[in-house]
Structure 1
């Protein structure tokens, strides 16, 4: 069966229209995107059978990510694909789990038994998921956790920032940005099923207790990285009229920003969040957000591919903890 444009688009993380432009050699596509689409098309056999030299045995890598509108995860997916395609010794497949619940995630891990050499995943810290990871590891598949760690599973390493330190950094920024006096702040959480989000909250609470006792958490809202839910919860906090700061641990920044703008509170509220994306970049530029604590998805993609491929080949690479970077309007990196 001939490979379709839709299949290439899905694998490359672009639109079918972009694939069509590339395959028909039309303008309007960036060179790197064009290269990725052509690499994916070759891999899927769009141009016919590959030459014998292309059929060398490669390390089979599978990555499991949550589906949805999370801008950081979309960028991470793109970077994982780019880093994998840039190497001639690996063949990568990316799986997205709708709802990203323990049942579906565990089932996907079970399905990969005997079909892959290594798995990198953004994982929920749940007993069922831990059991599925350990079962897959016992079958000989190398496991690497990405972005959010699960310390107790059988894995070759974790690639991601120190999330507790990230939470402490957010607390420090809020404490220094707000004027002296009593303050109440709202905390937004993607999901406590992510250990990384739980660790950020722990770090945030610890530094408030140690260094900013005059700041109190007015409430927390678990928004499941849903921007509409984040908008509703922000409006609920604003209606109370007693908060002066917001810390968003996960995604949903666009929903918070929308509520602040509608209430004309974007310049009065100190708003700290995570991950420099196209959306948060604009929020920094118009001062809706005051600071973004960034982790570099390109570096994380490169390091998880390196870690897993090396482990399959029999060499042990050290875990890599990307450094945290605070981005303000004045130091937004050039794209």
Structure 2
């Protein structure tokens, strides 16, 4: 049978009230007594049923997601996944709120994090903007005992607890390996379209892509990165101007969003080889129609569920299962669409 609090009390020679205070990290227990109880817990192999304890106390977890309000398919999908997760999590006594912010706006993100520091939720998940001020705001949450998970775009070097997202440097390298193989027949120019290099995921994808292209495919030259801010109209204007200037462009790597604009700008002539990110209705249709060549995808639902699991584990003081939380890079061609 599993050991109980009664077994701990008997092993340590203390009262049930003392065991309860130690298990819940409450004051009023002498250091020597606390040590006896902890040794009894270890000797018996006692594992606390956190769910039962929280139910008995009527505890409700409160997590807040801070997401960009971009009008692109992936961010809409991410917000929808948070809404669906919130409906499911309510049955597990988890309250989830989603707040939207202007995209790529470090000051708006800092202001939102500062407000949350005063509200003191159990945890916060955010799409990070790589700015020192954001790192300081995350540190203030950590000082207040609030768990922080970055989502999609990371903030390494900060005091965030976990990153729920793909290895974006590897994603960029993968895109380069694919596009380079698609264009092995001769020299040509490659365009890179980002949303904004202010966010680490876009910057890491660009860096990984450029490194592999220069090392493994020197016959292909790289144009300067264009920033479309994940806005279809802006991306359409950039690509239209680019193709007017470089009608023989060999390839395009769209590492952000706004691909509706990219596709509108292609026209009906000979098109470059194209790789984009995220399997959305737009990219799926374009892949099936042969307008783009490959899609690199991250599972938005997995990222949201992972963030929630990690925040709950951190709130409970439990371990995070690294293998379960690893977000993988998916590669889709028209032949393997799910």
Asked if TM exceeds 0.5, the reply is yes
Secondary structure at 1:60 match in 2: strand
Matches of residues 266-281 of structure 1 in structure 2 within 5 Å? 268-281=271-284
Go from structure 1 to structure 2 and tell me whether the alpha carbon gap of 1:149 and 1:318 turns closer, same or farther (over 3 Å shift): farther
- Output the CA distance in 1 between the equivalents of 2:210 and 2:321: 30
- Output the CA distance in 2 between the equivalents of 1:219 and 1:259: 19
* Gapped regions of structure 2 (runs ≥ 5): 1-54
- Output the CA distance in 2 between the equivalents of 1:247 and 1:99: 21
Do residues 316 (structure 1) and 322 (structure 2) align?
no
Residue 179 (structure 1) shift: 4.0
- Output the CA distance in 1 between the equivalents of 2:240 and 2:193: 13
What corresponds to 2:8 in structure 1?
none
The Cα offsets for residues 254-301 of structure 1, whole Å up to 9 and x where unpaired, read as 1010000xx214x53111000001111111111111110011111111
Pick which of 311-320 and 58-67 moved more: 311-320
Do residues 78 (structure 1) and 80 (structure 2) align?
yes
Residue 127 (structure 1) shift: 1.1
Residue 302 (structure 1) shift: 0.9
- Output the CA distance in 2 between the equivalents of 1:187 and 1:100: 19
Do residues 253 (structure 1) and 259 (structure 2) align?
yes
- Output the CA distance in 2 between the equivalents of 1:85 and 1:327: 30
Say how many residue pairs are matched.
Answer: 277
* Gapped regions of structure 1 (runs ≥ 5): 1-52
Pick which of 92-101 and 296-305 moved more: 92-101
- Output the CA distance in 2 between the equivalents of 1:78 and 1:58: 22
What corresponds to 1:242 in structure 2?
248
Residue 83 (structure 1) shift: 2.2
What corresponds to 2:225 in structure 1?
220
Do residues 92 (structure 1) and 93 (structure 2) align?
no
The Cα offsets for residues 132-190 of structure 1, whole Å up to 9 and x where unpaired, read as 11111111110001111111111221110000000001101111112411110110011
Normalising by structure 1, we get a TM-score of: 0.80
Secondary structure at 1:184 match in 2: strand
What corresponds to 2:15 in structure 1?
none
Secondary structure at 2:157 match in 1: coil
Do residues 167 (structure 1) and 169 (structure 2) align?
no
Do residues 131 (structure 1) and 133 (structure 2) align?
no
- Output the CA distance in 1 between the equivalents of 2:75 and 2:103: 14
Structure 1 runs (4+) deviating above 4 angstroms are: none
What corresponds to 1:183 in structure 2?
188
- Output the CA distance in 2 between the equivalents of 1:105 and 1:218: 31
Larger radius of gyration: 2
Tell me if the contact between 2:86 and 2:97 (Cα under 8 Å) persists in the aligned partners. Answer: no
The Cα offsets for residues 89-145 of structure 1, whole Å up to 9 and x where unpaired, read as 310000100244111110000011142110000010001111111111111110001
The Cα offsets for residues 202-255 of structure 1, whole Å up to 9 and x where unpaired, read as 100111111101111123211110111100110111012231100001001110
Tell me if the contact between 2:104 and 2:196 (Cα under 8 Å) persists in the aligned partners. Answer: no
Secondary structure at 1:224 match in 2: coil
Residue 330 (structure 1) shift: 1.4
